[in-house]
Structure 1
Amino acid sequence: MAATITGRARDLYNTWWTRGEAPRPLPPAMLRNVYALWLIALTLKVLGSSWDVSWHFKWLRDDLAPPHLLNTAGTVLVVALVLFHSYTGYGVDRFTLRFMQAGVTIFLLAVPLDVINHRINGLDITAWSITHALLYLGTAVMLTGVVRGWWRYGPAGRLRTPVLGLLWLFVLENVWFPAGQQEYGVLAVAAWDRGEPQAEPILLQFAADQIGRPVDRASVLHFALPVADWVYPMWLVAAAGSVLVLARWMIGRPWAATAIAAGYLAYRCAMWLVLAGAGFPMSAVPFLLLGVAVAVDLAFAARVPDLARPVLGAVLAGLGGAGAAWLQAEWLVTPPIDYPTFLTGAIVLGLLWTAVLLAVRARAFTRWAALTPVR
């Protein structure tokens, strides 16, 4: 992979490193190379992030831990690509470029803030902290630019839709990433209850010392599951559901949302096997995402008036998410779930979906992206 990255980067630099203003067109083959580098960079970041959560449920935090270094390698490549687009203007328009630049800026500012936060507050294990949220926000804004860039300028052909789907998978992974706190946490508590804690003693002691308790079940709960039970179902339906709605709308293919969710779950299963084989803590894989994804695809397939689709989709997503959560809890394991919150999540999803639909009708997205992608 290193040789591939180096070769593609060298070709870009030697042939196309000339100053210019966006948008500047690239030949289709070269444009595919640019976005291939984006896919490599995002893959490195996702692999590092996935390993990072498991790492933090086993050992004390270390700024130079291997997962951080792997994520940093992806970030370095992302920064290089944004510099390439900014200097040359190739492969993007100015609006797309602003998303990329803003996202990278937020992410790079969040990194030292997160380090300082850990110096002050210690573990800060929860994935839902403010500094962690800034990291996700920066990544989300940057991904918005990458998705928009490929949708607008990606060459027609057999790779266009799969790449777009893969980019939306990265968006879903970024949005769903905070929920990993509960997915690892529920198994960490179960391991403690079995008398087989997965975390190293020094980590358990540190976590207990932070709240002035001995190492006991209460301290493990505070360390592993500090998030309220309503957060997980709300995030499932409202946040993940919104991503799947946007992905299905943009890709425009039947069962696109289900395919993206299934692809993400396949990745999570593969990482589960790798981490388990390496002796790292495991997570509860969120198969319940499929309930929401299928609901979104069914809503798009239904023959109903456009303004009724968000209502139908929200109802189906709430029911699909709750039903899938119940099945997973019966057959496997899920984080603690406050089931009435599925209704709240469905209401939020319906409102967001309706707002997007009305904005499209009012041409509020005209600047964001023309409804017909540019070839």
Structure 2
Amino acid sequence: MGGQGLLAAAGSAGGAPIDQLAILAFVYIGGTGALVWLIRAHRAGRTQVLARVATATSFVFRAPGWSALPVLIAAGSLLLTMGGGFWDIGYHIDYGRDDGPLGNPGHYPLLIGFFGTLAAGILCIGLADERDRSGHWIRITREWHVPIGGALLIGCSAFGLTALPLDDVWHRIFGQDVTLWSPTHFMLLGGATMSVIAMCVLIAEGALASRNRPATEQPSGSPWARFELLGPDRPIARFEFFRGGEFAARAGKAWSKIQRFALLGGMLVGLEAFLAEFDWGVPLYRQVWQPLLLMAFAAFVFSAARGWAGRGGAMGAWGFYIVIRSAASLIPVLAGRSLAVVPLLLVPAICVELVALRVSPRTRPIAFGALAGLLGGTLGFAAEYGWSNLVYPLPWGPDLIAEGLISATVAAISGGVLGGLLAAALRRELPTPRAARIACIGAFAAFIAIGVSAGLRELPVADVTVELTNVSEEPRREALATFRIEPASAAEDANWLYMLAWQGGPGTQRIVDRLEPVGDGVYRSTQPIPLHGSWKSGLRLQQGRARGAVPLRLPTDSELGGAGAEVPTSFTLAEGPDIFAGASGAELPAPASFTRPFLEDGLIMLRESKGDVPPWLWVASASLIALIYGVFITGIAVGVSRLARRSGPAQTVAAEDDVAATAATRRGLGPSVA
């Protein structure tokens, strides 16, 4: 494909409009330049703006400003990213494609949030105070060293931002892949989610710096928090809260825990966003992925929270998770989009707390994580099985139990081990390098192996005869459908068998209709199916490893190939792929009766994907991004390990809490001034 083709305006079915990309580049580059100028002025002593803001946040968060201010900005930015992400997903499910990065309202908080996270990392290295330097800091110049957390935050946000132009190039080469699980979308999600680990590292570095700073000559009754209204020469007014040494000490310990709860609970929200398609009932991957990833993510986060925040850490992280995730579900609803259900994940948190009563997460982090994952994966799967049958659009059934329970348990053990190691690193109490390395590599290997197994699938070999009974006529035609599947055994004990209607346009919401069985291999819809406008509809089936879909009606799409072609109403399995490859934009009508086979989901759900791209090009491109992803994860692991190995004497969780309590009884934890 020539460069001219890549640069040409590709319309909403391909790359974004060039003018919108230029605007984004100008804003991002200009904003970064302005921030760098401000930091240079700060370090040269020409402005006190950053110093004053850092001072205020240091008093509130009881940490140096180079730690407190970036964490505050990054946390707010990630909340914006989360809200925009759920808004954007709901937009694509209900409306379809957008008109570029500036043509979708959900993109604006996303774009602001990504830049805010990058800005937080840049501020951290700009505010870094040489008085707080530790052995793990990274050298920039002879007189300028920066916290590893700031470097990780820049790396994570840059990784996510790099996905934005790569995503556009991907669309121009392969067509829009309107699925959450595309290689470049994984980069976006991964960059945002892993930023929380960088923030955790910054919190740990701030606690270490606070401990190492000498106590100021300050009476024990100093305030817990202080705010000042700044004047030209001196403060106009000062407000002090929670005076008194004992109360301040208790507040400091509680505040330290709350920060950790919030960070890790928010991280679980970000990780669970990888499964948003399941939450909306439009997954493009087998159902076993849902319990596999849910239990892995829960075990990882709750083990890390219990090991780092101490007793109650897992439950505290769960509390923040459920509040933030519930709020995220409301955002698309308030915008008029479909509702995404909230996975409960309460039982895995309880299991982690119970295991910690018998196995210390401080002295035996690997064993603790493995046992927490084992218990959380098994009991958590059982509990989520029940929850799914109450609220999930596609509930888990008996056919999932065998593969799902094994996959969820293995993945949860892997996640628990990694979570235990993360907490140990944040406490600077990692096991020996050999033990940590073997546990980390083993956990990743087990997770990848179970993921490969979950990725195996095949196509259902069955035909479906559809009979439609109109309940309203054109131009807003709707109909009830009866589906006769032959052979009937193809749908027995299915993971899911449902009718999906999606992308109906403004004022519509996707429809998930779990069909009513009325005979041997015969099923009937329980609500009218929209067969007009931009609505797309199809019958979806997964039975074990077999997964496919039967298209009912697809509208004309003038921006795709073969939009004017005539497509037969009935066709065979041998004819189907060629029909959709050669005329992906043609209308597929829905007459009163027709017979069609199950096809690959992607032919229907991903109409925008280009079918004329050589398979080797897709494999090579995906492999390159996977390699980049591997380097990214390795970099995070190395950074976290550097914190643990090169920070001096180890600190226990209790000691770090005492640091926060001690800091709360004295003033002047120290703004981050150069």
- TM category (shorter chain) comes to 0.7 to 0.9
In the alignment, what sits opposite 1:213?
none
CA-to-partner distance for each residue in 1:69-116, whole Å, 9 max, x for gaps?
A: 111112222222222223342588432222112112211211111122
1:53 aligns with 2:89: yes
1:66 partner SS: coil
1:320 — aligned with what? 379
Alpha-carbon distance in structure 2 between the residues aligned to 1:153 and 1:19: 23
Question: What TM-score results when the alignment is normalised by the length of structure 1?
Answer: 0.75
Alignment of 1:205-216 (within 5 A): none
Mapped to 1, the partners of 2:111 and 2:164 lie a distance apart of 10
SS in 2 for 1:327: helix
- The aligned amino acid for 2:401 is Y
Residue 118 of structure 1: aligned partner: 171
Q: Is residue 368 from structure 1 mapped to residue 368 from structure 2 by the alignment?
A: no
Q: Distance in 2 between matches of 1:130 and 1:15?
A: 37
Aligned-residue identity in percent: 22
Q: Does 1:35 find its partner at 2:71? A: yes
| Aligned residue type for 1:330 | N
Match of 1:339 among 364, 384, 401: 401
Q: 1 or 2, which has the higher strand percentage?
A: 2
- Match of residue 170 from structure 1: 266
SS of structure 2 residue aligned to 1:125: coil
How does 1:1-375 map onto structure 2 within 5 Å?
Answer: 17-18=42-43, 28-29=58-59, 31=65, 32-62=68-98, 63-64=101-102, 65-90=104-129, 93-154=146-207, 157=252, 158-184=254-280, 186=281, 224-254=282-312, 256-287=313-344, 289-302=345-358, 306=364, 308-333=367-392, 335=394, 337=396, 338-340=400-402, 341-354=404-417, 360-362=430-432, 367-369=642-644, 371-372=650-651, 373=656
CA distance in 1, matches of 2:89, 2:173: 20
Local SS of the residue matching 1:280: coil
Q: What amino acid sits opposite 2:295 in the alignment?
A: V
How many residues are treated as equivalent by the alignment?
Answer: 322
CA offsets 1:202-261 (integer angstroms, 9 cap, x no match): xxxxxxxxxxxxxxxxxxxxxx2211111111101123321221122111132x222222
What 5-or-longer segments of structure 2 have no aligned partner?
A: 1-33, 46-50, 138-145, 211-248, 437-639, 661-674
Moved over 4 A (4+): 13-16, 90-93, 354-359, 363-366
Structure 1 counterpart of 2:347, one-letter code: G
CA drift of 1:352 comes to: 5.0
Task: Specify the SS of the correspondent of 1:361.
Answer: coil
Q: Partner letter of residue 317 of structure 2? A: I
d(CA) in 1 for partners of 2:395, 2:178: 18
Aligned in 2, Cα 1:225/1:35: closer, same or farther, shift over 3 Å? closer
> How far apart, in 2, do the equivalents of 1:303 and 1:348 lie?
20
Distance apart, 1:166 and its partner CA = 1.3
| Deviation for aligned residue 1:33 | 4.1
TM-score (norm 2): 0.43
What is the SS of the residue equivalent to 1:302? coil
Deviation of the 1:349 alpha carbon: 2.9
What CA RMSD, in Å, does the superposition of the two structures yield over aligned residues?
3.3
Query: In the alignment, residue 241 of structure 1 is paired with which amino acid?
Result: A
Shift of the 94–268 alpha-carbon distance from structure 1 to 2, 3 Å rule, reads: closer
CA contact (8 A) 1:19 1:88 kept: no
| Distance in structure 2 (CA, Å) of the matches to 1:271 and 1:228 | 24
The DSSP-based 3-state class of the residue aligned with 2:643 is coil
Distance across 2 between alignment mates of 1:37 and 1:112: 24
Are the aligned partners of 1:235 and 1:345 in contact in 2 as well (CA < 8 Å)?
yes
User: Counterpart in 2 of 1:212?
Assistant: none
Gaps of 5+ in 1: 1-8, 187-223
1:234 maps to a residue whose letter is: L
Letter in 2 for 1:53: I
The structure with the largest helix share of the pair is 1
Counterpart residue type for residue 287 of structure 2: D
Structure ID, larger Rg:
2
Structure 2 distance, partners of 1:161, 1:309, is: 20
* 1:275-311 Cα distance to aligned partner (Å, 9 max, x none): 3344211112111x11222222221123579465344
One-letter amino acid of the structure 1 residue matched with residue 431 of structure 2 = R
- Change in 2 beyond 3 A, CA 1:34/1:226: closer
Cα distance per residue 1:107-138 (max 9 Å; x no partner): 12111111222344444222121111111222
Cα distance, 1:274 vs. partner?
A: 4.4
Q: In 2, Cα distance between the equivalents of 1:145 and 1:16?
A: 26
Cα distance in 2, alignment partners of residues 351 and 330 from structure 1: 27
